[in-house]
Amino acid sequence: MKWFWYASPQTFYPLAGRIARWSALGAAVLAVCGLYIGFFVAPTDAQQGEAYRIIFIHVPAAWMSMFIYVVMAVWSALCLALNTRLSGMMAAALAPTGALFTFIALWTGSLWGKPTWGTYWVWDARLTSELILLFLYLGFIALRASIDDPRRADRAAAVLAVVGVVNVPIIYYSVQWWNTLHQGASVSLTRAPSMAATMLTGMLVMALAFWLYAIAVSMVRVRCIIRERGE
C-alpha cells in the first residue's frame, strides 16, 4: 500500500524536510498577518479594554495544547498496535511543542487573570486540568528520557500518552460540566461565535500560524530523531 511507503523513516526523512520548509514559511507569514490584525485592526473590547488582546495568543495556544496531545496519543496508539518505528518518533517529536503551548496558555492566562479576575491563579476545573496536561507532557518527555533503549522508551511513553488522553475532553468540557471561574467557549463548531468578526479573524489566523509552526518544528525534530537513531 502506498500509505505505508512513508511509514519507513528513510523515505519519510526527505518528505519531512519539504513539509518543514513550507510550513515554517506559512507560519511566519500568517503570524505577521495575525498579529497585525490583533494589534492594529481588531477593536478594543467593551468590558476588558486592551487586556483582551491576550486571546490572539492564549486561545490558539490552548487549542494547540489539546490538539497536539490528541495527535501524540494517536501516534502512540499506532506505536503500540502496529509497532512501527516512525510513530514513536512522531509522538516524541510532538511532545516538546505541546508542552510549550500548554505553558504559554497557562502563562498568558495568568497574566490576563490578574487585571480581569483579580488573581493570577485559582484552582478551578479548567485551570487545574490544563496544569495536569502540562504535567502529562513533562512526564512523557521524562519517561522517554529515562529509558536507554529507544524502542522500549517509545512503548513505555506511548502507554502514558494513550492513558492521559482522557484529560483532553475534561479540559474542553470543564467549563460546561462545573461552575468555573474561567468563562465558557466563545467559539465552537455548534453555534455562532460570541465575538466581533475582526477579533475572530485575528484569532483564527493566529491559530493557523500556530498550527503550521507546530508542524514545522515537529518535522525538524523528527528528522533529528531519525538521524540520531542512525536510520
Chain contacts with other proteins (rule: CB under 8 A): 43-48, 52, 55, 77, 80-83, 115-119, 122-125, 162-163, 165-166, 170, 177-181, 183-186, 194-196, 199
Give the total residue count for the chain.
231
d(CA 202, CA 10): 39
In the bound state with other proteins, the residue whose beta carbon lies nearer, of 47 and 148, is 47
CA–chain centroid gap for 169, Å, is 14
Of 24 and 159, the one with the shorter C-beta distance to other proteins is: 159
* H/E segment holding residue 18: helix 9-36
* Smallest distance, other proteins to C-beta of residue 167, A: 9
CB of 55 to other proteins, least distance (A): 7
- Minimal distance in Å, beta carbon 176 to other proteins? 11
Report the residue number, 9 or 202, with the smaller CB distance to other proteins. 202
Question: Coil, helix or strand for 175?
Answer: helix
User: In the numeric block, which cell numbers belong to residue 42?
Assistant: 481588531
CB of 207 to other proteins, least distance (A): 15
Q: Which of 159, 182, 155, 161 is nearest to 171 (CA)?
A: 182
